[in-house]
Structure 1
Amino acid sequence: MQLRLDAADRLVELIEERRGPVYAEEAARRLFALRHAPVGLARSLLEEVVGDDTRLAWRGDAVGLADPPGADLALEDAPFVVVDLETTGLRPGSSRICEIGAVRVRGFELAEEFELLVDPGVPLAAAISALTGLHDAELRGQPHPSIAVRRFLEFAGDAVLVAHNARFDLAFIDRETERLTGGRLAGPVVDTVGLARRLLAGRTRRAGLASLAQFFGTEARPCHRALPDAQATAEILLQLIGLAQERGARTVADLVDLAAPRVRKVYAKRTLAFGAPASPGVYLFRDRHDQVLYVGRARDLRARLRSYFRSERQRPAVEAALFALERIEWRPMGSEVEAAIEELRLLRELRPVANARNARPDRYVYLRRRGDKLVCSQTPTPLGPIRSRARARLACRALDGASEEELERPELALPRLRARLRHLADCRRYEDAARLRDRIRALEQILNYLRRVESLRHARCCLVVPALEPGFVRAIFVAGGRVAAVRTLPRGDGARLEVEAGLAETNRGTPDHLAAEELDALLAIGTFLRRPPPELRVAPLAANEILRLAAALPPALDGEPRARPRARAA
């Protein structure tokens, strides 16, 4: 099921990239990695993907985007079914339906009603029982969720579904529908939350069901039970349809369009990401002066770049970079490990304005003794380097008044500090307790971080990953608290020469203090050592073992033909 949904998403992206219908043969080749696909075979492979997705439609022997649902259905002729669910929780994957209520709207008047209790198969939480008034005893023996959803779908028929915060209710219904039919609901859906926000902008600040019911003075009052909430939503819908008609809405498609979230302005720039490969790599956002605004890395460049234009707003600095964006440059890599190292190099060299965590080793600090306390310093010591100066200062304040032994081993101060925190709380000195709590948390985080850095400082290993060039392997040598060397291993006897050259770079001893400029790369390596991706192999610093793992390494992640670094301009 999920594979079919992913294929539909990729097909929609391909049609948008081509700016028009795509012939079935090409679509089948791209989606199913076929070298050749006759028209008959291509249509049979795509039939289920196209037929189950309302965004797609056949245009002869090509696949294109379908007309919006409800485009030919006038509002006065449209049957609506307003639905509301009560559930055991908020997540469709782990929670279940416990009540369904629905109201049919025909000719702008409320008609038949549907109400059904559902046995979720799990006990209701006390908070849910208190909120809804439902109890396990009255739900026990009621229809199973899949049976209840089947009965609701029979009641709804071909009507346009309406819900308040439709994404929540439809997620539960879709989950049960997938179990029943293997597909999701395909008809148009109207969300009264989005519709109210668009039509009532400036007139009411809240779009909750209770707030809108009070605003419109509905006869039914929401009470966290399915049928009364559906009745209130139906009355609100009729009021909103009247406002929508004043704005020129004539069809269900117009209503759905008004209810849809407003498209971000940067969505129009999504074509800049067309053509990006589905492989690891780094990417650079450039403005009209070719200045680099932002640098990032991704395991899947295509998916990551397109997410900037399809998802919710980014943090302010990245959002500003997207508004100024004129060109995206991507550089495919053989692995995510190599992409991480390249990203750090670019951050140090370019210092893009939109990157929150620019690599600035000159700002990193160490903790060192000054009299009877610890202070932040640029002088290298065993306690560092630390990237967060603010957190380091809080940790130092936590150790004010510490004993000589605690200053030498700061972890020994934690029991005393926690006892002090409990004493302040018992004395109701809450502001002092809050300040001490923040300092203790900072000290704990710094100590955990320093233990991890110390472990990496003594690490001696070789990371073996695929290279971008087919048949080649990248060997990353880690020793002496740094990335000592990165070598490309070719086929044949040349691989041993490269390995020996890399091993020669690891012969330096481990320094007493970790250099600040080596920290970021070392932490990135540590992340991959803790959670290694499938293509990564870790070898000891022994030539034969490195060569053995390199020979058995799978090819690079992306099976598509490799392209040289390229960019897409507006």
Structure 2
Amino acid sequence: MQMVQETFDDLGVHLSDVTFVVVDLETTGGSPADCGITEIGAVKVRGGEVIGEFQTLVRPSVPIPAFITVLTGISNAMVAEAPRIDSALPAFLEFARGSVLVAHNAGFDVSFLKAAAASTGHVWPGFAVLDTVRLARQLVHRDETPNHKLSSLARLFGATTTPDHRALHDARATVDVLHGLIERVGNLGVHTLEELQSYTSRVSTAQRRKRFLADEMPSAPGVYVFKDGRGEPLYVGTAVDIRRRTRTYFTASETRRRMAEMVGIAESITPIVCATRLEAQVRELRLIAEYKPRYNRRSRHPEKALWVKLTAEPFPRLSIVRQVRGDGAHYAGPFASRKTAEAAVTAVHEVIPLRQCTQTLTERSRKSACVLFEIGRCGAPCIGEQTTEEYAALAGQAAMALVGDGRDVLAALRGRLDSLAAQERFEDATTLRDRMIALVRASARAQRLAPLSSAPEVVAARRRDAGGWEVVCVRFGRLAGSTVTPRGADPMPFIDAVRATAEVVSGPTAPAPAAHPEETELVLRWLEAPGTRLVTMEGEWTCPVGGAGAARAELEPMARQWGEFAEPWGETPAVRPLERPPGALRVGLA
């Protein structure tokens, strides 16, 4: 648990005497920079008793998207007569005066409140802030609940109010979660706000006696590997300063329970110094994939990634596969789970009546059609109701949705989503929304991966803060080499050297890269970051007009706010596209 304390006069007060204001917001999107608050709900509690409640709808300066209405039930009509934030915020601040603010995922709510204060000319008070998500991560084990979402914790602690994405209801549920967490921490001897703040500052005996392991680490960027007495990797991490980072595992700044357990087992640390931060991140991924250390939770099984395939046959169909082949089929992905792959397939089936049977078809392969034909979800090519030419038009729409201009398919999905919302079929609309997000993510990812996966070589450079350049050489989506150039030196000899000594990489079957997709995602983010210059390029770097990237940029902030269908590898949307002409390209570095 981490607390964000700004100012608070009396941190030694007993928890039963602390006034907490539990707050929840509903908004038009995920970023306070371009989204607004639509509802504020808050509950004031002291000593386990509710002493006040606050609730108001807020009329935002931007329209409420249909997706948000599906999620919260708050429509533009509902907030038409509601007060603006410049009236609602002062009332809330007065209600919360002198209290400790509590929220579930407090960074989100507080960022919106601070942005509202700044935009309306109000001074943000010095609230202490308690985040129930962070506290729960310390006190609630995975065998008790699958995750730390508010809905899961509310069930665990028997909350009297079920969270439903309405601000006051969610605040009431968070109150019950807060009380359950305080009861648990009280059993551990924590009874004051000061003790609660320092609760995670306890360092285990194992952590203290292993501090010497970090003493010989280099003060350089790279990768570090904790190993047990047999030399087996326990945990792999990266750092801009290996010595400084590994020292934190033996201090109060390391609060993860599993890391304290890992330190108790570890007998050595192996450092791997890297030329660039990107190289360190890539080496970390490769080591985790190779050794699958028990204390690393992510990136352990990249080989299990899945792809959605539109088969190459007279009557194509969608299938989920583990390998991309050069068979003329169209692929989207990769996906980290079968659940999201199936969601993307179902999204396409929602608006394109492709066949869903698995056998190979020729015209009129069966005597009778399945139930999908009877309900209008398939044209029944199996009984000759569709010719290959008629079916090919549908398959072409599906192919465009996966690898090309998918605007027509996305527009059809949006239309169906709006229709479900208008009929108040919110559960069905939410399901369709999740399927749409899965499809857009997969299509955008494949469209971004394919050009780099097909490029024999890309060399790029970026200025370093300390002077000189970071240089990377990428071949078929795999990091083949990297270096840094000295400040003031001509970078071209170093670039020529890294190209000459870079790893030889065999061409893969696009859109799958020659590396694990997560590695190529890291390389893409580095290449797409502002300030990066392409030095040479063999191949083409293009993206389809009307591709899934634009739709994803619109949906992604809301998807992160909802916390559902999280990205498999912590992927973020591209900062900006790099538009370069095809063929070899060489740009001098000043």
TM-score calculated relative to the size of structure 1: 0.48
Name whichever structure is richer in helix by fraction.
1
